[in-house]
Amino acid sequence: MKKYIVIMTVSSIVLSLFGCGEMAKPRKRADSGESMSQSVRDAVRDADGSRLDELDFSYTDRKHRFSFKYSGDWMTKESDKDLRVYLPNDEGKTGGGVIAIEVYPHAPNLMKETKEDMENVHKEVDPDYSIIKFEKIKFDGEDCLYYMASLTTHEIHCTETRYCFNYKNQCFVLTFRVYQGYEVKYTPYFDAVLKSFKK
């Protein structure tokens, strides 16, 4: 469990730095003032995959052998450890949402983790971190730890969803973070990206 705690702590620190920087093009104004209520989550879940045809670019990681689709309007940044996709806010800067796909070279026993374990790990970085949904599910045939949480970064409320699973002795962490006011705009796209993910 200690290895996994280190993974999640580092991941939280990295993601907490998201939200600054310029995008290449100006963006249209997004829907704002919406909160991620249960009814909104239900609505976007009902529309699962409806944005898939709008994802016009594909990314393939040959080293870790996975691929997914994304929009050409989003900015990607690749490192040795992860891939980040930045979704724009109203001003065309990063801050509308973030997708991060991290791969770690070991596979902890995710199914032993509890909601309290995960919440405590994240609270080391953000004391307001609160898990609002926690499940152990199957994702593409693999045991998967899935949770949704509420948090604050750069004094902005965010909703975050994570899918953590092991595959071929590696740990994959897929994180989808949407900033307050952009839930309705971006959550259906997160679902479409997830649906397009292949390993």
**CATH number for position 10:** 3.40.1000.10
What band does 166 get if pLDDT is binned at 50, 70 and 90? very high
Which pLDDT value is given to residue 109? 86
Which pLDDT value is given to residue 11? 55
Section 166-191 average pLDDT:
90
Write down the H helix ranges in 96-149: 115-123
Question: What's the average model confidence in pLDDT over 96-118?
Answer: 90
Identify the domain containing residue 101 by its residue range.
Answer: 2-196
Give per-residue pLDDT as tens, 45-86. Answer: 444 445 778 899 999 998 888 999 999 889 999 887 789 999
- Cα-Cα-Cα-Cα dihedral sign, residues 116, 121, 70, 141: negative
Enter the pTM of the model. Answer: 0.75
The answer, yes or no, to whether residue 41 has pLDDT greater than 50, is no
Say which residues have a Cβ less than 8 Å from residue 56's Cβ, sequence separation at least 6.
69, 71, 72
pLDDT the model gives residue 23: 34
The number of distinct structural domains making up the chain is 1
